[in-house]
Structure 1
Amino acid sequence: MSGEVRQIAVATDPRIPYFLRVDFAGNLGAGFALALSDGISAWNGEVSEDEVRRKANEMEVPMESFVEDLHQALIGGGRARGGGRRARDVDIYSFELTLDRRQFSYHKICGGVPVHLGSLKLQPAPHPSALTRELIGQSLKRNSHLMKENSLLSEENRKLKEDHAHILQELEHQVQDKETMTRDLYARFVLVLNEKKAKIRSLQDALSQLPPTASVQKKQRDQQGEPF
């Protein structure tokens, strides 16, 4: 059996914080047991697998989706055991408790309208003080675990930010190096090109200073009309 403890507010008595524990095997679709305490008194109740299936059929929703809503309503957060999609952040769930503390019900708020997910009859716990201490102890232990987990995540997030900043700095250096290399290569290309142009002009000047060859002289005479 898996036991999950959380603190909830009851819509019919919002001033008093309640501790809720849900015990189940596998997933909530197989049925579950519930313990509830207001810090002084405590109650127990159970929901069978048949009751869960009957409610899902009554609502005309797939069993998997209904179990997921139960998980979100009674346990909160995360993914329902056994699979299924993650509930949307906009999903809101509420709880009600009769004045005689004999019936506990849970709802999903859809568009401001409460949709009844289920209810169960409560029985006074035989040892309410012991159960209350157990629930509070489990809640404190869970809170301590979450604080430790949050601290680890914060440290991991800090390291990720440092790595990100380091990578950005390296990228900036690489971009600067690439730009410098591009400028150097372009300057060298221009220098080599100018040197080649100067060499070509020098060769052209040297070529123009050479005496004309016999064929060139003949062509010149032909153009001037001179006899052979």
Structure 2
Amino acid sequence: MEPESEARHSCLKLELTQDNSESDSFPKQTIFVMGTWFPSRFSLSITDGLDSWLCNASEEDVRERASQWDQSVSEYIDFAEKYLGFQQPHSVYRFSDAGNGFRRLSWTFEKEGITLEWRWRCKPSPDNRKTTATILDFLMDANIRLSEEVVRKTQSFDRLKEEAQKCLVQSEKLSAEKDEFETEVYAKFVSVLNSKKAKLRELRDRLSKQEAKGKLPQEEDASTDGTEPYRTESDDDMHSEE
């Protein structure tokens, strides 16, 4: 027997497919199916709000059914949990009379283009109130957990939204500073570039004038370098005597 700690739980609000042959003594179309899933067995608690039923699929029952469908036990459990944990849109669910207060829970599925059906017989609960209360308690606890999770997610979302807003403001500020910096740098670059262009034009004009005279600035500098004669002390004396 697997320990309770290994169990998974589900509860499905099941919208039933009404059968024309169904007796009017069972007019309800909605039931709640609570499943307790173990690795090799499962149990179902079912209520329509008034009456309730139980289905205990033992390890031997599950092993036999799995063998009939060429499945492993784990595959069979997973498949049953899929269809009884969430209502599958293309499956036809029924909860029909099986006599003596028993009901038969069934659902269809497609395999290789063929519509197949699984059925499990459910016996009347010895205590309708207790079974229904157990299902309602599970739903209430699940609702509380979901509500708390929604609150946590909402708070987390609000924090993320606030952080995102701060990041957006910071990003816009940095973008504006970047644009301002680029504009300033570009203006300085244009100013320096224009200054260089002006100097180049000035040098080009000077070169053009020098070339027109047939003398380059370098030659003029060379001709004027060192032309002043060296005067000795005796020369100074001679000039003073004169």
Structure 2 unaligned segments of length 5 or more: list them.
Answer: 19-25, 211-215, 224-242
> Which whole-Å CA distance do the structure 2 matches of 1:54 and 1:156 have between them?
48
Does structure 2 retain, via aligned residues, the 8 Å contact 1:94–1:109? Answer: no
1:166/1:59 CA distance change after superposition, 3 Å? farther
1:149 aligns with 2:142: no
The residue number in structure 2 matching 1:104 is: 105
Question: Cα offset for 1:55?
Answer: 4.9
Question: Cα offset for 1:23?
Answer: 1.4
The residue number in structure 1 matching 2:82 is: 72
> Which whole-Å CA distance do the structure 2 matches of 1:61 and 1:91 have between them?
23
SS at match of 1:122: strand
1:68/1:203 CA distance change after superposition, 3 Å? same
The residue number in structure 1 matching 2:15 is: 9
Question: Cα offset for 1:137?
Answer: 1.6
Structural RMSD (CA): 3.6
How many matched pairs?
200
Counterpart AA for 1:120: W
Q: TM-score, normalised by structure 2?
A: 0.65
Deviation readout 1:135-172 (Å, 9 max, x if unpaired): 11211121122122122222222333333333333333
The residue number in structure 2 matching 1:20 is: 33
1:61/1:163 CA distance change after superposition, 3 Å? farther
Question: Cα offset for 1:45?
Answer: 0.9
Does structure 1 retain, via aligned residues, the 8 Å contact 2:36–2:42? Answer: yes
The residue number in structure 1 matching 2:21 is: none
Question: Cα offset for 1:44?
Answer: 0.9
> Which whole-Å CA distance do the structure 2 matches of 1:198 and 1:181 have between them?
26
1:172/1:63 CA distance change after superposition, 3 Å? farther
Counterpart AA for 2:123: Q
> Which whole-Å CA distance do the structure 2 matches of 1:165 and 1:197 have between them?
47
Equivalent residues in 2 for 1:44-193 (5 A)? 44-49=54-59, 51-52=61-62, 55=65, 67-76=77-86, 92-99=90-97, 100=99, 101-108=102-109, 115-116=116-117, 118-193=118-193
Question: Cα offset for 1:34?
Answer: 0.9
Counterpart AA for 1:43: W
Does structure 1 retain, via aligned residues, the 8 Å contact 2:46–2:53? Answer: yes
Question: Cα offset for 1:9?
Answer: 2.2
Does structure 1 retain, via aligned residues, the 8 Å contact 2:52–2:124? Answer: yes
Deviation readout 1:18-66 (Å, 9 max, x if unpaired): 22211122x4xx1201111112211111224455455556556777665
1:60/1:176 CA distance change after superposition, 3 Å? farther
1:53/1:173 CA distance change after superposition, 3 Å? farther
Counterpart AA for 1:151: V
Structure 1 unaligned segments of length 5 or more: list them.
Answer: 78-89, 217-228
The residue number in structure 2 matching 1:194 is: 194
Q: Determine what percentage of the aligned residue pairs are the same residue.
A: 21
Counterpart AA for 2:10: E
Question: Cα offset for 1:4?
Answer: 2.8
SS at match of 1:8: strand
